[in-house]
A and B are shown apart, each in its own frame.
Chain A
């Protein structure tokens, strides 16, 4: 409504006598028709959100209370799927612990690595654009099967990593084949793709006004004090944003663990990430109800984690004095 009046005001100012009351009314009418036509623009999205997103979401909530193998009809079993998960399914609990370990190690490592390197690169280094692009390449490729295939080589028995270790006289078998180290190789892959996060940090660092640093210098601060009292507080919104993205993504990672374990979560279920387990239950065993319940537990867990991150942000994210 406010914009309609702005438009009329603007036209009166611009056109003066040209805008008769009739013409203004006609414009108003057309504006109303245009507002309806907005839904024309939204049609693809509205179909999509109902048919591809919200509908299936509700359907999977319903299915999570049923037993369904894709052939018969879903049979209602109440909370049995959820009960079974927490009381009679050790692989579920194991996959949770694998995924939580993966997230707890990889997410902080990605954040610390990318922040340190962004700080390092931010000090007016030449060729920054080139370096930034090169650091981004692993993020570009990290989700591809090609890199998982390469990882099988790098951390295999005769792989590159062992070649390097041999230079130091260390002998070790296959890292991807050893249940104690397999998850470590997948975590390494995740941390390897820290470039995207670093690019966001670099953009954030550039937003900090130089005048803050000049003021801090005039106050006789040292580099550490400037980081702790200027850079870090100014960057907390970006750290919050990056943290949220990295944590959520770490729970959804699928391809590396799937390909490196040959789709099984082996060796000894050490690569049985939650997403891999869900895939097995749903699309290998065709337990559609149970897989839906797994998906909803994932959604609830992510909602709680994201909620906690949002809640905590009130205490550590700094949005400037006046807001």
Chain B
């Protein structure tokens, strides 16, 4: 209690270990218990869905998870083409669209991000303000004319309205993310490359691009998630069932499903979130860092 002598008003309890060690271990356990309890309640619907998707139709509902009996029949039924639904095709379509969106965003947003982070050009501040301005622009305000344009040029029932804009760097979030990341790279590297005779393209290609790993991974991941989950875009532009994406298929399925195919509906829903969970587990560090720096969801 030496501090009480120095500062009589000090409450000594704050400067010594606050509780006996045993209680602290107990407190830590309690903290974990509360956290896990909240997580179980939150994630229970997903756990239930995964579990139910492996059960025979008659046995769905009211079961204790992980107790069986299990079957793959729902997945086989769900993926087998019927007169109205063809989930195998929807998965191919969804993957194709998401992959093209990722490619487009990576090319266009790295180019744009490099220009704003490293190059000098007239009206740079105004143009960057424009990027930031479009960050919070509600998409509805461009929706109708975009639809009219894509309709007029005959792009309905093609993937182009969903994919082409990505090659034109319309996702301001990723430009912002890449600008922030490139600004953090040391400028000495650019100057050294410039002395070695590199132009802007050379600096971009040989110096900056190889260092963009984490930012590129974050951009790719979020673009994939957004494209994979997108429901409004495909609903607007793809009305031919052979072009449907997985979310459209699920929405169709839910409107038409009866009790007999409930298991396959849950199986397809589970299968549709599997790539997201897979990518997330593979790259969760990058993702959570990305969210923390830019606020992307």
Contact = CB atoms under 8 A, between A and B. Distances in A.
A265 interface: no
Given A52-B165, A129-B285, A135-B39, A60 B121 contact: no
Contacts of B32: 125-127
B120 A160 contact: no
Contacts of B114: 41
A200 B114 CA distance: 26
A296 B28 contact: no
Interface residues of B, number: 95
Contact of B137 (A53, A217, A291): A53
A139 to B, nearest CB: 6
Contacts of A153: 49, 266
Contacts of B127: 42
A249 B297 contact: yes
Contact of A42 (B28, B115, B204, B295): B115
B251 interface: yes
A42 B114 CA distance: 9
Interface stretch (A76-84, A86-94, A142-150): A142-150
A298 B136 CA distance: 12
A140 B140 contact: no
B19 interface: no
A196 B297 contact: yes
Nearest to B36: A131
A242 interface: yes
Contacts of B134: 49, 53
A245 B142 contact: no
B206 interface: no
Nearest to B62: A163
B211 interface: no
Among B49, B121, B142, B293, residue most surrounded by chain A Cβ atoms (within 10 Å): B142
Interface in B243-273: 246-248, 250-251, 253-255, 265-266, 269-270, 272-273
B49 to A, nearest CB: 5
Contact of B112 (A42, A251, A259): A42
B261 to A, nearest CB: 13
Nearest to B109: A45
A249 B140 CA distance: 12
Given A34-B119, A120-B31, A56 B255 contact: no
- Report, as a range, how many residues of chain A touch the other chain: 35 or more
Contact of B120 (A35, A138, A145, A254): A35
B62 A137 contact: no
A251 B142 contact: no
B144 A196 contact: no
Among A117, A144, A249, residue most surrounded by chain B Cβ atoms (within 10 Å): A144
B145 interface: yes
Interface stretch (A101-109, A275-283, A313-321): A275-283
B108 interface: yes
Contacts of B146: 52, 56
A57 B200 contact: no
B151 interface: yes
B144 A282 contact: yes
Among A63, A196, A244, A249, residue most surrounded by chain B Cβ atoms (within 10 Å): A196
A166 B89 CA distance: 41
B280 interface: yes
A278 B140 CA distance: 8
B287 interface: yes
B191 A7 contact: yes
A152 interface: yes
Interface in B1-49: 9-11, 14-15, 28, 31-32, 34-35, 38-39, 42-46, 48-49
B212 interface: no
B277 A137 contact: yes
A136 interface: yes
A56 B247 contact: no
Contacts of B115: 38, 41-42, 45
The 7 closest A-B pairs by CB, nearest first: A48-B168, A203-B292, A56-B145, A59-B145, A38-B119, A145-B247, A41-B115
12 contacts: A34-B200, A44-B167, A56-B142, A120-B35, A158-B61, A245-B295, A254-B231, A255-B232, A283-B147, A288-B144, A295-B138, A296-B141
Given A30-B199, A34-B199, A135-B39, 14 more contacts: A38-B200, A45-B112, A47-B168, A53-B170, A56-B149, A60-B145, A133-B281, A144-B272, A153-B49, A200-B295, A249-B297, A254-B231, A295-B144, A298-B138
